[in-house]
Amino acid sequence: MHALITGASSGLGEAMARHFAAAGWSLTLVARRKATLDALANEFQTPTHVIGADLSNLDRAVEVIAESQQALGPIDALINNAGVQYVEPTAGISHERSELLFKVNLLAPMRLIHEVLPTMLERRSGTIVNISSMAGITPTPGMCHYNASKAGLAAASESLRVELADSGVHILTVYPGPVTTPMETAARDSFTPHWAVRNVPTGTPEGMAKLVLSGILKKTPRIFYPRVYGMARHTRVLSQWVTDTFAPPLKDE
């Protein structure tokens, strides 16, 4: 089995790469920090192909699929994981920065899906995993562009799952809550210290990685992690009220 994981140089992507390699998968690892990916690939016993790519360059994102399939054959699982997050006052974010975020978090995943889908449909097999966020379900103040990008990815992912239900291609949408990674640590540090920030249920990258692999194998439609956040899907109005009421202010507001 061959998985392409974007954003494999850190956090969730790195943990998924380790977990999938341990389970015997061949891997294509994609991120900008190629040297970090090379070091990770050297640890693995399974065939691993490394691609240094800036996914905000959408033409480069398209090339990644062909390069990966040429190196290791058809992709069985595309994992759209690379992401950027700004936790800061929205008014100070330039158009350039906001558009970069949408390219990495939403437009590059859509391009990668578009490129990989024909082969998967032809083979009537394959999984596309889209790493959205709880921010796509209950948007958090101070992360305006991020919330929108993750809601967009979740909407695309959920609708594609139903569209492709009889095609043999499985779509898995992942909604992580806080999971300890460099992105999550930076986000937490951007809010004023507050009991709500200190006490929210938080997961580990390894725990997330295990659920994603098992979700692929069991063809699960969606994953919430830590699992308690799954409630928000059924209690959306209440969950949004809790977020609006208890989200602490940003440090630099």
Catalytic (active-site) positions? 146
Q: Which residues does residue 131 pair with via DSSP β-bridges, in sequence order?
A: 174
Quick check: 157 binds ligand NAP (CB under 6 A)? Answer: no
- Least Cβ distance, residue 188 to ligand NAP (angstroms): 9
**By 3-state DSSP, what share of the chain in percent is helix, strand and coil, each rounded to 5?**
55, 15, 30
Which residues inside 92-121 make contact with ligand NAP, applying CB under 6 A? Answer: 104
Give the nearer residue to ligand NAP in terms of CB position, either 72 or 135. Answer: 135
| Binder of ligand NAP out of 1, 23, 32, 158 (CB under 6 A) | 32
Which alpha helices (DSSP H) does 191-235 contain, by range?
195-199, 205-218, 231-234
- Can you tell me the distance from the alpha carbon of 222 to that of 177, in angstroms, rounded to the nearest whole number? 13
Q: How many CB atoms lie within 10 A of CB 250?
A: 15
Q: Contacts with ligand NAP in 1-20 (CB under 6 A)? A: 7-13
Q: Are residues 94 and 146 in contact, defined by beta-carbon separation less than 8 angstroms?
A: no
**Residue 19 CB, nearest distance to ligand NAP (Å)?**
13
Residues 159-198 that bind ligand NAP (CB under 6 A): 176, 178-179, 181-184
Determine if 133 is a binding residue for ligand NAP (CB under 6 A). yes
Tokens describing residue 53: 């790519």
Residue 54 makes contact with ligand NAP by CB under 6 A: yes
Q: How many residues bind ligand NAP (CB under 6 A)?
A: 28
